[in-house]
Chain A
Amino acid sequence: MLQPPLEPARFWRLSAAGAASFLAIWTLAAVSGITSRDFLPTPWDVVERFGQLLTTPFAGYVLHQHLLSSLQRFAMGFVLAVCVGIPLGLLMAWFPWVDRIVSPAFETVRFIAPIAWVPFAALWFGTGIGGPVLIIFMGAFPPVLINTYRGAKQVDRKYIEASQMLGASAWRSMTEVLLPAAVPSIVAGLRISAGLGWQSLVGAELIVASSGVGYLMVKGQAAISTATVMCGMAAIGFIGLLIDVALRRAQMVIERRRGL
Chain B
Amino acid sequence: MATAPLSRSLLAHAARAVGALFVVLVLWHLLTAVFGIISPARFATPAEVGLALRQITVEGYSNGRLYEHVARSVLLVTMGFTVAASIGVLLGLAMGASRKVEAFVNPIFLVLRPIPPLAWIPLAIVWLGLGDAAKMMVIFFAAFVPSVINSYTGVRQIDKPIFEAAAMLDIRGWRYWREVLIPGALPSIFTGLRLSLQASWTTLVAAELVGAVAGLGTILNQAAQDIYPAMILVGMLSVALCGWLMTLGLGWIERRVMPWKAL
Contacts and interface: CB of A to CB of B under 8 A. Distances in A.
Q: Is the interface of B mostly helix, strand, loop or mixed?
A: helix
B240 A232 contact: no
A46 to B, nearest CB: 12
A119 B240 contact: no
A6 B100 contact: yes
Contacts of A119: 220-221, 223-224, 232, 235
Interface in A59-77: none
B99 A240 contact: no
Contacts of A111: 240-241, 243-244
A208 to B, nearest CB: 9
A241 B115 CA distance: 9
B116 A198 contact: yes
Interface stretch (A17-25, A163-171, A250-258): A17-25
A2 B42 contact: no
Nearest to A217: B122
A254 to B, nearest CB: 23
A22 B115 contact: no
Given A112-B236, A113-B202, A14 B123 contact: no
Interface stretch (A50-58, A178-186, A222-230): A222-230
Interface in A187-238: 198-200, 202-203, 206-207, 214, 217-218, 220-221, 224-226, 229-230, 232-233, 236-238
B75 interface: no
Interface stretch (B81-89, B160-168, B250-258): B160-168
B108 interface: yes
A240 B97 CA distance: 29
B244 A199 contact: no
B206 interface: yes
Nearest to A113: B202
Contacts of A112: 236-237, 239-240
B220 A118 contact: yes
Interface in A2-45: 2-6, 10-11, 14-19, 22, 39
Contacts of A18: 103-108
Contact of A233 (B123, B205, B229): B123
B121 interface: yes
B163 A1 contact: yes
B235 A116 contact: yes
Interface stretch (A84-92, A120-128, A143-151, A152-160): A120-128
B209 interface: yes
Interface residues of A, number: 57
Contact of B236 (A6, A117, A218): A117
B118 A199 contact: yes
A253 B237 CA distance: 41
Interface of B: 17, 20, 24, 42, 97-100, 103-108, 111, 114-123, 125-127, 158, 160, 163-164, 166-167, 201-202, 205-206, 209-210, 220-221, 223-224, 227, 229, 232, 235-237, 239-241, 243-244
Interface of A: 1-6, 10-11, 14-19, 22, 39, 104-105, 108, 111-120, 122-124, 198-200, 202-203, 206-207, 214, 217-218, 220-221, 224-226, 229-230, 232-233, 236-238, 240-241, 244
Given A117-B236, A233-B123, 12 more contacts: A1-B167, A5-B99, A14-B103, A15-B107, A112-B236, A113-B240, A115-B118, A200-B118, A203-B206, A206-B122, A218-B122, A229-B126
- The list of the 9 closest CB pairs from A to B, nearest first, reads A119-B224, A14-B103, A237-B114, A221-B122, A199-B116, A19-B107, A18-B104, A203-B118, A113-B202
